[in-house]
């Protein structure tokens, strides 16, 4: 029986483990899922939009700012993700809700009418900061700044904490929730 969930949205701070969970979900879920992250969007933007101004900026203290040009492209990207789902793809979105509930509302708007599983990916700020340092590809301080910020005012269908839990275990917990939705949908028939 196919999953009723069409989109899994992972929200967590930088270095919280979202990308690892997304890869593990692709391995443990029975259907084929695409994993799409906001980092990919940033990587494909013109370099000038990766340096601040109208794009996305990374301050020395880890604060992230987003400009109007970035928002325009991000809106188009979000609509594109929703269009892929409407065309039949199942998608795992790896995002960082820097705008808190406003960020979620933007996704809710484009995903309206689709079956979405909202997942909070938490990680202790110190642990995330250690991962950030080990990665070497992030602005120092970003993980600590985002660890709690991205979860303010949020409610989720499921939450995982990667502080001491491996990505595969978090993915299995999420997959159980996806499977429960299949069972729940069958029970309602």
What's 13's DSSP letter?
-
Of the chain, the end-to-end C-alpha distance in Å amounts to: 13
CB 174 within 8 A of CB 25: yes
Angle at Cα 16 formed by Cα 73 and Cα 128, nearest 5°? 120
Supply the DSSP string of 92-120, one letter for each residue: EEEE--TTTHHHHHHHHHHTTTS-EEEEE
What's 163's DSSP letter?
S
What's 150's DSSP letter?
T
| Residue 126 appears among annotated catalytic residues | no
Active site residues: 39
């Amino acid at each position: 029986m196919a999953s009723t969930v069409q989109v899994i949205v992972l929200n967590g701070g930088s270095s919280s483990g979202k990308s690892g969970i997304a890869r593990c979900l692709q391995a443990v879920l029975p259907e084929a899922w695409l994993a799409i992250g906001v980092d990919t969007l940033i990587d494909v933007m013109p370099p000038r939009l990766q340096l601040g101004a109208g794009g996305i900026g990374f301050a020395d203290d880890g604060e992230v700012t987003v400009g109007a040009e970035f928002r325009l492209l991000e809106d188009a990207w979000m609509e594109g993700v929703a269009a892929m789902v409407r065309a039949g793809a199942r998608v795992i979105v790896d995002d960082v809700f820097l705008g808190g509930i406003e960020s979620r509302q933007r996704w809710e708007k484009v995903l309206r009418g689709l079956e979405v599983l909202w997942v909070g990916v938490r990680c202790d700020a110190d642990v995330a900061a250690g991962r950030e340092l080990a990665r070497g590809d992030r602005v120092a301080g970003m993980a600590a700044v985002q660890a709690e910020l991205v979860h303010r005012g949020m409610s989720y269908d499921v939450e995982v904490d990667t502080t001491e839990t491996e990505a595969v275990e978090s993915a299995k917990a999420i997959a159980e929730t996806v499977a429960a939705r299949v069972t729940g949908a069958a029970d309602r028939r």
